[in-house]
Amino acid sequence: MELFNVVSIEEAKQIIDKAFTYEIDCEKVNILQSVGRICFQDVLAECNIPEFKRSTVDGFAVRSRDVSGSSEVIPSMLDLNGEIFMGKVPPSDILGGECLYIPTGGMLPEHADSVVMVEYSHKLDENTVLIYSPVAMGDNVIQVGEDVKTQDIVIKKGDKLRPYEIGVLASIGINEVTVYKTPRVAIISTGDEVVPCEVKPTLGEIRDINTYLLSSLLIEDGIQPVSYGIINDDYEHLKSTVDKAFNECDMVLVSGGSSVGKKDQTLNVIASYNDGEILLHGIAVKPGKPTIIGKHKEKIIFGLPGHPLACSIIYKILVKNYIDSLTFQSEKMYGTNAVMSLNYHKAKGREEYLPVELETIANSVIAKPVFGKSSLISVFSKAWGYIKIDKNEEGVREGQIVEVYRL
């Protein structure tokens, strides 16, 4: 029987980075259709935000030197020169010893440099205002371009467009944005024993999990899954399906058939192409060791383990990493700190991804391992996430602070 020639996760990522230069096309869409999409190029502001000096409070636009030294005992007395209305240019400028009433968001007159909050004033009569507090130059004012300056990069290439980025685009007058086209990812489940989820399996058969698992993971990440159904352990059937998937999609995921058994055909299919190349077979990781990565038509094909937990872990740490690289995505994944609930031993020489559930006890977040073989689907319903144990570590100690990543 053939043995795996395993590589580390980092080596696998380096092999992928070196082997592929495949690019995803772009398209221009309305900003309301761009939520969750990846920006194709830097977006530069074509104007200042704001384009005029704005008040951050309700109050009186003043020259700060006119209210210097103001107090409740000795207030400054200013001439009220009118009122500024929202969305309108001030009716007049102010001279020394004058002020204008201004609402929050209103435009300051040219020579006003600050705003006194209405709480620190008293309208003595229709033409006179008493000011009880001094202000410094710029107090309660947003300056021209303080938020965004013309030619600032407001959104970078590779940024995922959230509702907040959509608001920024609207603020600078952009209602269409260029984004990467949504990658199409083929999903092929293999195995003579696998039946559709709506079919009641006979003894020895199992329902298809990975098609739905991988499709859901892709949808969650803003990717379009394309399912090619369940393919039995037959070379010709798998080969014709993979051919179709390569022609129609940007990458191919084959679930099952990645091990070294007699019926595992993924390796044979990849090797059958004139330009086919098997980049690696076997990764020093638990779970997920029997993983294949191959190449055809400058596109990548992943042979993923058939066991659901192993399949999802390889998706999280390798497949998604490659998908993100296609769109230069800059989004980073951050873990949650937790306290390990017990001592956990692992074999040295391979990374391990241990599913855990989280529980809050006495104001501490506790990580409790969810034990189960990679073929057991119940692990998913119990685990909140996973912790990564490096290949040179022998395990994790009880009470050790660990970083938990969301499954």
Q: Over range 119-138, report the average pLDDT.
A: 96
Tell me: pLDDT of 97 over 50.
yes
Tell me: pLDDT of 48 over 70.
yes
The predicted pLDDT at position 349 comes to 83
Tell me: pLDDT of 259 over 90.
no
The predicted pLDDT at position 4 comes to 62
Q: Please give the share of the chain, as a percent, with pLDDT higher than 90.
A: 85
Domain membership of residue 367 as a residue range: 336-406
d(CA 101, CA 83): 5
Residues 190 and 160 in one domain: no
| 251-to-16, 25, 187 alpha-carbon distances in Å | 13, 14, 9
- 266-297 per-position pLDDT tens digit: 899 999 999 999 999 999 999 999 999 999 99
Residues 309 and 199 in one domain: yes
pTM equals: 0.85
d(CA 122, CA 131): 7
Residues 223 and 303 in one domain: yes
The predicted pLDDT at position 2 comes to 47
Q: Over range 226-250, report the average pLDDT.
A: 95
Q: Over range 329-340, report the average pLDDT.
A: 87
Q: Over range 51-73, report the average pLDDT.
A: 97
d(CA 132, CA 71): 4
Output phi, psi for 330, to 5 deg: -100, 0
| 121: β partners | 131
Residues 192 and 168 in one domain: no
CA torsion sign for 131, 137, 140, 144 is: positive
Place of tokens 């202000």: 135
What CATH number corresponds to the domain at position 109?
Answer: 2.170.190.11
What CATH number corresponds to the domain at position 317?
Answer: 3.40.980.10
Residues 210 and 251 in one domain: yes
The predicted pLDDT at position 373 comes to 66
Tell me: pLDDT of 376 over 80.
no
Residues 168 and 226 in one domain: no
Residues 294 and 169 in one domain: no
Count of CB atoms within 10 A of residue 101's CB? 19
CA dihedral 185, 191, 194, 197 (to 10 degrees): 0
pLDDT band at 1 (very low <50, low <70, confident <90, very high): very low
Residues 224 and 315 in one domain: yes
Residues 268 and 385 in one domain: no
Q: Is residue 2 part of a domain?
A: no
Number of domains comprising the chain:
4
Residues 297 and 367 in one domain: no
